[in-house]
Amino acid sequence: MKMGEVDIEATTEPLLKVEDLAVDFHVSGTVQRALQGVSLNLKRGRTLGLVGESGCGKSVTSLSIMRLLPQPPGHYAGGRILLEGRDLLSLPEREMRALRGGRIGMIFQEPMTSLNPVYTCGEQIVESLLVHSGLSSKAAMDRAVELLDLVGLPSPRERAHDYPHQLSGGQRQRVMIALALANDPDLLIADEPTTALDVTIQAQILDLMTDLRERTGAAVLLVTHDLGVVAQTCDDVVVMYAGGVVERAPTNALFADPQHPYTIGLMAAVPRIDATVDRLSTIAGSVPPPWVTLVGCRFASRCPLADDRCRSAVPPLRENGPDHAVACWHAPIEEATI
């Protein structure tokens, strides 16, 4: 686990830099803002966790980086997504297509439905290899078997000839990872890669991803709603709420000293193995629906500390410690005050 270590690569320029990303959805004549001012940095060899509850914009962010957001109804309303300084939002579609599956690999949430059912696992990896590299189909098949071996599928040569429906969920997710890694990507986006799997398989898949990141040196953007997964695998965390970033910190700093009332509420809602609790706490209320135009802080309607300033002005994301930024007027907050 790399948590807390300061390695050399941490000082280099980030591989992926998202600046002030704003995304709108045009739904039946109205414009709904799905993302507002999302910024994040991801360096080579690191894992960044993107956490938040359903509908907070995690998946929209990861799809935006791949530029896979359906347009319409999606619309990039502002900001930049820089991969080594190149703005992905202004790339022509052809160049973007070369990046997808090439330098950026993506793992999806549902291993049961994310593989094309009419082709064998091997054929699908070969397809990706042929699109991005000049391999012959024979060499591509050998490479596909090699990849299936790398992700820990037993007897990979036989499995390469299996159709997705012949594999279990965990095996399919391994195939998805092999597919995402096919062309040695610099950036791996994993959108809830373990949500659809049972717990023991989850642990195996997370270990595999950590292991592969260390071997390939790729940066990983891990989208999840599971704080346990974040603690286990991520170096840094970005907490999102209602389409915006509320807190950004190294993993250990976030877990040791959460600063945003939302993060504090999330932490309190997770059962802990070292404490006996009768009732788990919850965060009162629910996420504001996207068609509501927010005036002040996006969390104000559910925040126990909210005052007039919170309801009238948007708190900026301010550095509040080493690499620890919070978007809250009341930060720093002692946990006991909530």
Partner 1 sequence: MSIAEPADLDAPAPSLPWWRRLVHDPAAFVALIVLTIVVLCAILAPLISPHDPYASSRAVMQPPVWSDRGAWLHPLGTDGQGRDILSRIFYGTRLTLLIGLVSVGLGGVLGSLLGLLAAFRPRLDPWVMRLVDVMLSFPAILLGLALVAVFGPGAIPVMIALAIATVPDCARIARSIAVSVMKQEYIEAGRAVGLSDLALFTRYLLRNCISSILIFISLRFGQIILIGAALSFLGLGAKPPQAELGMMAAQGRDFLLFAPHIAVIPSVMIFVIVLAANVLGDALRDVLDPRLRS
Residue ranges that bind partner 1, judged by CB under 8 A: 66, 68, 97-102, 105-106, 108-110, 113-119, 124, 127-128, 131-132, 158, 161-163, 165-166, 168-169, 176, 179-180
CB of 170 to partner 1, least distance (A): 10
CB of 184 to partner 1, least distance (A): 14
Give the span between the Cα atoms of 24 and 21, in whole angstroms: 10
Residue 133 CA, distance from chain mean position? 27
Helix (H, G, I), strand (E, B) or coil at 323: coil
Nearer to partner 1, 42 or 126 (CB): 126
Give the span between the Cα atoms of 131 and 137, in whole angstroms: 11
Nearer to partner 1, 79 or 105 (CB): 105
Nearer to partner 1, 36 or 59 (CB): 59
Beta bridge partners of 48: 221, 236
CB of 182 to partner 1, least distance (A): 8
- Which residues make Cβ contacts (< 8 Å) with residue 138, sequence separation at least 6? none
DSSP E strands in the chain: the ranges are 16-27, 30-42, 47-51, 74-83, 86-87, 104-107, 187-191, 219-224, 236-241, 244-250, 318-319, 325-326
Nearer to partner 1, 77 or 130 (CB): 130
CB of 16 to partner 1, least distance (A): 16
CB of 107 to partner 1, least distance (A): 9
Nearer to partner 1, 201 or 287 (CB): 201
- Residue 17 half-sphere exposure toward CB, CA atoms < 13 A: 11
Nearer to partner 1, 67 or 260 (CB): 67
- Residue 130 half-sphere exposure toward CB, CA atoms < 13 A: 13
CB of 166 to partner 1, least distance (A): 6
Residue 191 CA, distance from chain mean position? 5
Nearer to partner 1, 37 or 102 (CB): 102
Nearest 10 degrees: CA dihedral of 259, 265, 267, 273? Answer: 140
CB 140 within 8 A of CB 126: yes
CB of 84 to partner 1, least distance (A): 18
Sign of the CA dihedral running 302, 307, 308, 310: negative
Nearer to partner 1, 99 or 148 (CB): 99
**Which ranges constitute the DSSP H helices of 151-278?**
156-159, 169-181, 199-216, 227-233, 251-256, 261-268
CB of 304 to partner 1, least distance (A): 38
What element of type H or E holds 142? Answer: helix 137-150
